[in-house]
Chains A and B, each alone.
Chain A
Amino acid sequence: MKTLVFLEDHEGKLQKDSLGVLSKAASLDSEVEAVLLGADVEGLAGEAARYGAKRVHVMEDVLLAKPLPQPRVDALETLIRAEGFDTVLFAATVLSADIAAALAARLDAGLNWDLTDVVLDDGKLVGKRPALGDSVYIDVGWTSEPRLALIRSGTFEPAESGGEADVVRFESRLQDFSLAAEMVEQAHEESEGPSIEDADVIVAGGRGLGSPENFALVEELAKALGGAVAATRAVVDAGWYPYAAQVGQTGKTVSPKLYVACGISGAIQHKVGMQSSGLIVAINKDPNAPIFEYADLGVVGDLHEIVPKLTELVRARRAA
C-alpha cells in the first residue's frame, strides 16, 4: 500500500478531520505520506509528522493561496502520477469533495465517498458507506488504482503517534481552466456571538419553521429550557439566522445533553453535526423525515402549535 493523505489547512492551521484521516491512514500503512498545497504551508509539515506522516510533499505557489479546488487537482495529479500512490484519502469538506471528484475523472480512478470507516480485509481495502439515510451500510471497494476515498466529517479522531517526516518539495503546471475561477472574498472563522458548542440544551430550527419570524418560537423554547438556539444550513443560507448558530457538516458540531429539532428533516449533513447529542427530540410534520430514524422521541405534527404549548408547559414547570 502506498497511501497519500490530502491535508487541508485554514488560516495557518491543519483542519482537524484531515489529521483524523491521517491518523487512521497511519494505522493501515506505517509509511503513509501526506501532501500540503498552498502559498505558505511548509511550516505545517511538522504537525503532519506528529500525526503519523513519514513523508510530507509540499507545493507552494501563490496561485494556491485561495482554497479553490481546480488548481489543487492539477497539483495532485502531478504528484500521484510521479509517485505512484495507489490510495489517496481525503477528509470530506466542501473543498476536498470537489477536488476528489475532479481527480477521479482526471485519473479515471474510483472514488467512494461518505465513508465512515476504511479497513484492510485480507490486504484488500474496503470502505464502509452508510446509504439511504444511514438505513443500510454498504461495503464498497475499488476495481483499479489509485483508489480515492472521501471520509465523512467527524469520523476519525486525530491521534498523535510522534515522529519525524521528510519534507519533499514538488512543482506542478496549473492549467488555464483551473485558474479561471477566482475567489474575491474568503470566509473567516467567526469568533463573535454566543457559542452553541458549550450549551447543555439546544433548540434548533429548520426550514419547517416556514419563515424567519418563526425563529421566535425556537428562541422562546430555548429560553424556557435555559438553552441556546441553533439552525440548519438551509435557513442560514436563506438568511433567516446567522452562520454562527449553524449545526452540521459546514457548521458546528455539538453534543448537548438535550437537542430539540423543530422543522428539521435531518439530512446527513445536519446529522453529522448533532448525532452525539444525549437526547434528541424532533418535531416535524413530515412522517418520512430522516430525523425520525435517530430521534429518541419523534413527534409528527405541526410545530407552530406544539412548540408554543411546550414552551408554556416548561415555563409552568420551572415556575412551580
Chain B
Amino acid sequence: MKIAVCAKYVPEAGGRIDPQTKRLDRSGEGALNQFDVNAVEEALKLKEASGEGEVVIVSLGPARALEAMRKALAMGADRVVLVSDDAAAGSDLVATSRILAAALEREEPELVLFGQQANDSDGAVLWAAVADRLQRPLISQVAELTRENGKLRGKRQTEYGYDVIEAPVPAVVAVSDAINEPRYPSLKGIMGAKKKPQETVSLSDLGMDAGEAGEGGSRTQVYALNDPPARGDTVKIEDDGTAAEKILGFLLEKKAL
C-alpha cells in the first residue's frame, strides 16, 4: 500500500508570534511536529504488515524543513516531498489544504495519514479540508487502525465514547497520539536517511498559481495580538526533595484539606 503522511515543520519550544507580520515566527530552530510522528509510525506499521508499499512524507514549509523531515526518513519512511515556495507563506486552512491536496494528487497514495494536531497552532481540522478536496472518505481521531479485506477500520473517541468507522481506500485518516508509541530511529536509519530521495517542489511544479496560496489564497486574517486575560497567581517550584511537604503546606494554607 502506498501511504502518504502529511507532516508539519514546527518551531521548537512552542514558538512566538511576530508582532510585525502577525504570523508565527519561524526563524528559529524547527522540528517535525511531534503529533505527526505518530502518523509516521502508523504508516510504517501498515507497510510492514502488508509487506509491500511505500511511505512518502508530504510537507509544506520553508526549505530548511527538509532537515527536520529526515527524522521520518530515519524512522523508516521512503522519501520526502516538500512543497516550498515563498508565495505559500501565510497560507491559512483553505490555502494550505489546496496546496497539500495538489501535492497528494500528484502522488496518488491509497492512504493519506495525518497526526492529531500541529503543536504550534492547536489546529485539528486540516485533514477534513484535504479529504474534501481529494473527494475521499475520512476517518478522524483514530486511536486504533486496522486493515481487513481492503477496508480500513478506525476506532475513535468522540464526546460520547468510542465509534468504529470503516472506509474503503483510497481514504484519509487522522490518528490520535495514543495510537502507538513511535519507534526511535536506529543509528543505521539515521545514517541512511540522508541518501533517501528528498524532493523540493514549488507551487508551479504543482500547477498552481501564486495567487492560490499565501495571503491571496487565504480567507482569514489576523487583526491584532492581545495579552491573555489576567489570571490568578501561579507558583512554580522545582522539587528539591521537599515537594510533597510544600504541596501539603499549600493545601493547608488554602484550606483545601
A interface, CB within 8 angstroms of B: 10, 15, 67-70, 73, 93-95, 97-106, 108-114, 126, 130-144, 150, 175, 177-178, 180-190, 201, 225, 233-238, 243, 249-251, 257-258, 267-268, 278-279, 281, 283, 287-288, 292-302, 305-306, 309-310, 312-314, 317-318
Contact = CB atoms under 8 A, between A and B. Distances in A.
Contacts of B228: 130, 134-137
Given A292-B234, A299-B243, A250 B122 contact: no
Interface of B: 13-17, 22, 92-94, 97-98, 120-133, 135-141, 143, 153, 156-168, 171, 176-179, 218-229, 231-239, 243-248, 250-252, 254, 256-257
Contacts of A144: 219
Contacts of B238: 287, 299-301
A88 B161 CA distance: 27
Given A177-B137, A279-B254, A143 B243 contact: no
B237 A257 contact: no
B161 A142 contact: no
A14 B246 CA distance: 45
A312 B245 CA distance: 10
Q: Which 10 A-B pairs have CB atoms at the shortest separation, nearest pair first?
A: A301-B239, A110-B219, A237-B178, A187-B161, A309-B244, A101-B125, A185-B164, A101-B128, A102-B132, A180-B137
A142 B251 contact: no
A132 B247 contact: no
A14 B135 CA distance: 29
Contacts, number: 280
Given A139-B223, A141-B220, A296-B232, A188 B165 contact: no
A183 B168 CA distance: 12
B141 A68 contact: no
Nearest to B223: A139
Contacts of B135: 175, 177
A283 B132 contact: no
